[in-house]
Structure 1
Amino acid sequence: MASSGAASSRRSNTDFISTKWAKAFFGVVAVQALICVAFEAYVFGQFQTSLGSYQGAADNVDLDSQYRTIPTFLALFIFGFLYVLLLTWDALRLKNTIQVIGLCIANLALLVYTALQIDQINSSIDKLQRANALKQDPANKDVWETIRPFLIAIPAIIGVVSLAMGYIAYQLYREFAWDILKQIGADYRMKKRFLQYQVYIALLKFDFFFFLGFTVQFLVIVTGKTDVEKGLTIAAIPITIAILLFAAFFTQRETKAGVCLVILLYFGALGYFFFKLVRIYQPGRKEHYQAVQRSLTAFAVLTIILIILTIINAFICMSNFGAGLKAHLVKPKGSDLEKDDLNSYQMNDQKPTLPSRMTID
């Protein structure tokens, strides 16, 4: 019995990529991550080896910021590709159509960011060269010419992959629709509630990436921070993770008080990002953000949009509390999962009983 249970568990861990389109989607994203991470790592290595023994960066705030800009950008993009791969696995495992669509949009965002990084890295290298901060030997003097083809290739690869992801996502949408029908049933209103729940959960996962991307750039590159501001920003990272986890938990358990508290925190985060967006261009302050002004602006704007959408969907999900969705999301304790799944499939495969008379909703 134990061995059969273990075998069943192993099968369930890989069943989500057993179909043709699931394999294709995961494979395309995995290849993109592999190639782009390799290219970003190569660029990072070339930049690091080109750095000279210049010691004036500590006295030059702008130059010190340029030193940190390129490694931070590259590390952030590497994390981005790996995070998209992780969310792809998660979306296919949960058969979350909305998250699959969100991944296509997130990939386009990566396309924009990797296109922005070309000019940003070129500008940083140019400033470092003019300050004699790079090695002057012939092999490393023109590091920009060495890494430029790789930087250009990355958004080109992402563009092609995004087209493939869009087509495969449509096929997955058709495939997952049947699975959702078996899980939720043929009730249109229940399927709509489940879709709204999926939207909310997907937004939480993307909120994390864009918040983290903004915070990392702010902490590492932006100058002129006070110790208090830096400490509060660092503390905000684990707090944000906890908020997002509790947001999902309260929504799944339909805890209205908890969701209301989370929404209040969302409004606080919204105010914070509006404040930071103004700070980026505020006279007397914008000099501190110059090295990452465009990138930080893009992250801030997208994070604001995501938070607004998250707040809207939180209210929508809360309005669905008590309508029966919780029974489909939360398994009873001590239940036999395999038996539950089998029974739910059998029940939902049956044709629904037609009402004896017409009803108007």
Structure 2
Amino acid sequence: MLTLRKVIDRVTETKWSKLYIMVAVLQCIFIMTIQLIICSQNTIQANLLPHPSSNSAMTYSADTTHIPELAADRLGRIKWENIAFVGFQVWFVGMAFDATVYQNTAEILALSILNVICAVLGALEVVDGNKWLQRLNLTKYSTNPLALAEKLEIALAVVIMAFACALAYLSYEMSRQFGWNIYKKIGADVQVQSKCVQDVSHLPVLRLISEDQHIYWIPGLYLLSDPIRSEARNYMGKRYPTGRHYLYAANALLCSHCLFVGIAVDVITIGLGVVSMRNFGKGLKPYVQRGSNKTKLQDLEMNDKAKARQSWRIDDD
């Protein structure tokens, strides 16, 4: 069962876990602060521009006549992108704590990759802001808020890249720490370790595809993860479509335009589900439990191993 004591113990277990969480929290604070300032400057700039009275202005090319209307529309949408980015940082910190507490190497590496992607998106944000700044300079409207936002976007891109590099190194050290913990818990059997990694890799993917979504993802994740821990093949066949239905509902509003991304995510999720089913009944069940079931099944596993060692003991008489 997850308790505050367990969270504190796992976060303070080594210097690498302390540094990882500290850097993740600092990244969230820095990026949220800069993004919110950029959002406010974009909003101020949009308020200085005339808004189109209809959607007809959006059909024209970006000439000097319609640049203000086009810029106002674009800056209005960028505001929501900034807010989404802030929400992502909050989610990232939560996932960093989750990966540290449950010592999930796959989740740590996935977060590191996402951080690199964020650095690329930060650079694209600079390019997009500079494009609209140059266009608005051809008009009579003031561009002071947008010019300030551009400088902040450059600073944001540098900050994201610096934190991405730092967290990439810390993720490597954390993976080594988790590998040693898995070795102490499971033993030197490489095959069992490999199967355990395959199973625990499935749940981070389910979390990643449901980030920043609606409350629908909560029953979706339960319906998809519970059959894995219970190693129930029949439930995997029945609950998987139901669980995917909840995740579809959660992603509908945000990802309706990302058809190919959705297909790729489904293929990856189903593939990992098949790999997890192949590992059922191979001694992994005690190691993928949480809460009271974890202690109960691990105690049974230790008793079975003790009995096996007892049966091989040579009688001195």
Bin of the TM-score, shorter chain as denominator length: 0.7 to 0.9
The counterpart of 1:324, out of the listed 265, 269, 283, is 283
The counterpart of 1:115, out of the listed 91, 113, 123, is 123
- Which residue of structure 1 aligns with residue 220 of structure 2? 243
Shift of 1:202: 1.2
The counterpart of 2:26, out of the listed 23, 31, 40, is 31
Ranges in structure 2 where 5+ consecutive residues have no aligned partner: 59-69, 313-317
Question: Does the aligned pair in 2 maintain the 1:69–1:124 contact within 8 Å?
Answer: no
Question: Does the aligned pair in 2 maintain the 1:254–1:322 contact within 8 Å?
Answer: yes
Question: Does the aligned pair in 1 maintain the 2:11–2:17 contact within 8 Å?
Answer: yes
Shift of 1:259: 2.5
CA distance in 1, matches of 2:218, 2:229: 17
1:309 aligns with 2:311: no
CA distance 1:196–1:83, shift in 2 (3 Å): same
CA distance 1:176–1:331, shift in 2 (3 Å): closer
Aligned AA (1:257): N
Aligned AA (1:173): S
- Which residue of structure 2 aligns with residue 17 of structure 1? 11
CA distance in 1, matches of 2:223, 2:163: 34
The counterpart of 2:234, out of the listed 254, 257, 266, is 257
- Which residue of structure 1 aligns with residue 152 of structure 2? 150
CA distance 1:311–1:9, shift in 2 (3 Å): closer
Question: Does the aligned pair in 2 maintain the 1:37–1:81 contact within 8 Å?
Answer: yes
CA distance 1:28–1:302, shift in 2 (3 Å): farther
Partner of 1:198, secondary structure, is: helix
Question: Does the aligned pair in 1 maintain the 2:287–2:294 contact within 8 Å?
Answer: no
- TM-score norm. by structure 1 comes to 0.67
1:40 aligns with 2:17: no
List per-residue Cα deviations over 1:156-175 (Å, max 9, x = no partner).
22222222222222221221
Aligned AA (2:284): L
List per-residue Cα deviations over 1:54-100 (Å, max 9, x = no partner).
66435137447425311111011111112111111110001111111
Partner of 2:280, secondary structure, is: coil
CA RMSD of aligned residues (A): 4.0
CA distance in 2, matches of 1:58, 1:321: 61
CA distance in 2, matches of 1:151, 1:11: 39
CA distance 1:126–1:261, shift in 2 (3 Å): farther
List per-residue Cα deviations over 1:217-266 (Å, max 9, x = no partner).
xxxxxxxxxxxxxxxxxxxx554553233111222222223323455575
CA distance in 2, matches of 1:331, 1:240: 19
CA distance 1:331–1:240, shift in 2 (3 Å): closer
Question: Does the aligned pair in 2 maintain the 1:33–1:81 contact within 8 Å?
Answer: yes
Aligned AA (1:15): D
CA distance in 1, matches of 2:47, 2:216: 39
Partner of 1:57, secondary structure, is: coil
List per-residue Cα deviations over 1:254-289 (Å, max 9, x = no partner).
22233234555759989xx9xx99x96xxxxxxxxx
1:87 aligns with 2:64: no
- What are the within-5 Å matches in structure 2 for residues 202-213 of structure 1? 202-209=204-211, 212=213
- TM-score norm. by structure 2 comes to 0.75
List per-residue Cα deviations over 1:22-55 (Å, max 9, x = no partner).
0111111211111111100011111223333766
Q: What fraction of aligned residue pairs are identical, expressed as a percent?
A: 19
Q: Which moved more, 1:59-68 or 1:169-178?
A: 59-68
Bigger RCO of structures 1 and 2 (CA < 8 A, at least 6 apart): 1
Shift of 1:196: 0.4
List per-residue Cα deviations over 1:282-336 (Å, max 9, x = no partner).
xxxxxxxxxxxxxx6xxx6655544332221111001111222222223685x79
- Which residue of structure 1 aligns with residue 165 of structure 2? 163
1:72 aligns with 2:67: no
Ranges in structure 1 where 5+ consecutive residues have no aligned partner: 1-7, 213-236, 281-295, 357-361
CA distance 1:9–1:87, shift in 2 (3 Å): closer
